[in-house]
Chain A
């Protein structure tokens, strides 16, 4: 790939403090990183370690207390709404909880239509738009005609997350930030979702930042792994390095916490 190994998203001394005074919470503490184009990066940490907070900062959905973010080598500027919109053409997300990701008062197919508008395809003829949305749904094994006129509560968690992937498929951003996209759904849908994410990456060469608390999962899907503890990146490296030669006790504990199921099963069947 042409842009392989160029910096895609870089953070310098990124810090987030919620609140002020005595009750303030230091959620992310001076983290530095440099994600390369085309990579799959995992950020691993326990609950409350600041993963979601970091991802919200990267997405520009919450303010940055301190530090700088560089997007494609240039310092990120989202000071105006137009610039924000431009930035969000480059970075998109799938959130942790599919059930709260949708506006419960609007029909789900509107989500896909919004994507077309965002890509400047809002004025295409109806039929063409329909074909594009249908294609996106087929990519994630959904039937678009079954989704039209449905409200979010009529979908299962797995279907909701797949629709989120269809959304990203339509938007084709350079970066996808997936915040524990499989933590709220059943094990069966989980592997389907992961399959689809990987397929998406293979087809579009998207950079995927995958957030998870499961270091085993991170090992199987990602090129490099960042370990996060109490808002700090305690170590990072290639996924092989991280799993085979962990240096920090926290990483070792994370590895020992991984359900033994991975060891009991034939590992190759899970790899994608």
Chain B
């Protein structure tokens, strides 16, 4: 108990823990508020912009209320983007001769008023043909922006096939958003398959954590067992294990990872298998550090006393050595989990991750975003949140690890 308290006294561990816990909490609570298949391809279009989408059909069908506001600046602005307004200013200043100070591109109603007063389609003096066409188009937009004509909704008479006017909508008519029956919220937009990115991200974070956890546990289990045996038994056993460990270290684990992943084959690669493959290549580091810790412990007198008391190898390893390195193993496990998540992302980026469209992982999301050129499109929502989540997980776990290190290694304590 005292140990846990001490651990939480470390500010680094606390910060890391808070970030990690917040992430976990979000991932597990979010589905309660936004249920729905995270991998359902909702949009026909790819890379939907983030936002709330309401059914146009429902809006047209629902009864509006009238708000006494004139066509808003927003409506005008949507017709006349900044570039057009600048062109209008150029026309008014250069050809009409208004003072540049009088023309304000941000005061759209005033600008439109000035334009209507001064624009003359027949005045072609000194204008290029392309410029004349530009101004004609702008004038059309201005007229459209000013147009407050009603929209008529007609339905098809099933018998006669004639259009029957059903309803008119005028420009001061509004509909309450929540009264529109069909709404879709895409807080982080849609991805290339038309999926809801946030839902997918939550699901992917869960899966990636799972992969990290499994990979971390596999790596720690192998590394710990081999490290304990190599360090404690020594001799030939140690030499053999050290040789294997070195073999795995000399060949970069990532290369082994790629080779195994590749040889397993596209179809067979499920999430669980990928996690195990990652774990299987990540153990040498744990093994080596556990081994050196055990070597420094195996000649201690408490181990000698256990031997003299007739205890066997297994009992000495589990009660005389393991508890002494437990805190260290926990730290190694945390790092292995963080590394596992990163490895999955890297592997999937290369197209060697889990081959599936049934689950999303952070790496797969990155892979899809790259394959379907989200970066080039400027669809930041398809990859940036993923990068942030990976970074936060890695950062928080490393912080926790440093915090633990400070508590367990008194030399580092500040």
- Residues of A whose CB lies within 8 Å of any CB of B are 56, 59, 61-62, 81, 84-85, 88, 92-93, 95-97, 100-106, 111, 114-115, 117-118
Chain B nearest CB, measured from A200 CB (Å): 17
* Least CB separation from B235: chain A residue: A63
Which residues 272-330 in B have Cβ within 8 Å of A in the complex?
299-302, 304-312, 319-320, 323-324
A-B contacts besides A61-B299, A101-B301, A118-B309, 11 pairs, CB < 8 Å: A59-B304, A59-B308, A61-B308, A84-B307, A96-B301, A100-B300, A103-B305, A103-B306, A103-B323, A105-B324, A114-B311
Contacts of A104 in B (CB 8 A): 302, 324
Question: Quick check: A88 and B319 within 8 Å, CB to CB?
Answer: no
Contacts of A105 in B (CB 8 A): 319, 323-324
Interface size bucket, B side?
10 to 19
Complex Cα distance, B256 from A152, in Å, reads: 47
Name the residue in B301, B306, B319 with the highest tally of chain A Cβ atoms < 10 Å from its Cβ. Answer: B301
Contacts of B320 in A (CB 8 A): 103
B304 partner, pick from A81, A84, A95, A115, beta carbons under 8 A: A95
Question: Quick check: A102 and B307 within 8 Å, CB to CB?
Answer: no
A103 partner, pick from B299, B302, B308, B310, beta carbons under 8 A: B302
15 A-B Cβ contacts within 8 A? Answer: A56-B304, A62-B299, A85-B310, A88-B307, A95-B301, A96-B301, A101-B302, A102-B305, A103-B302, A103-B319, A103-B320, A105-B323, A111-B305, A111-B309, A115-B309
* Inter-chain CB contacts under 8 Å: number: 52
Contacts of A97 in B (CB 8 A): 301
Chain A nearest CB, measured from B175 CB (Å): 69
Name the residue in B299, B304, B306 with the highest tally of chain A Cβ atoms < 10 Å from its Cβ. Answer: B304
Question: Quick check: A95 and B323 within 8 Å, CB to CB?
Answer: no
Question: Quick check: A102 and B309 within 8 Å, CB to CB?
Answer: no
Chain A nearest CB, measured from B125 CB (Å): 97
Chain A nearest CB, measured from B244 CB (Å): 23
Complex Cα distance, B308 from A62, in Å, reads: 12
A114 partner, pick from B300, B301, B310, beta carbons under 8 A: B310
Question: Quick check: A95 and B305 within 8 Å, CB to CB?
Answer: yes
Question: Quick check: A100 and B301 within 8 Å, CB to CB?
Answer: yes
Question: Quick check: A81 and B312 within 8 Å, CB to CB?
Answer: yes
Chain A nearest CB, measured from B237 CB (Å): 15
Contacts of B310 in A (CB 8 A): 85, 88, 114, 117-118
Complex Cα distance, B312 from A114, in Å, reads: 12
Chain A nearest CB, measured from B317 CB (Å): 12
Contacts of B307 in A (CB 8 A): 61, 84, 88
Name the residue in B299, B308, B323 with the highest tally of chain A Cβ atoms < 10 Å from its Cβ. Answer: B308
Complex Cα distance, B306 from A104, in Å, reads: 12
* Least CB separation from A112: chain B residue: B309
Contacts of B299 in A (CB 8 A): 61-62
Give the 8 A-B residue pairs with the shortest CB-CB distance, closest first.
A105-B323, A114-B309, A95-B301, A118-B310, A101-B301, A103-B302, A100-B301, A61-B304
Contacts of A61 in B (CB 8 A): 299, 304, 307-308
* Least CB separation from A103: chain B residue: B302
Complex Cα distance, B400 from A170, in Å, reads: 47
Chain A nearest CB, measured from B329 CB (Å): 14
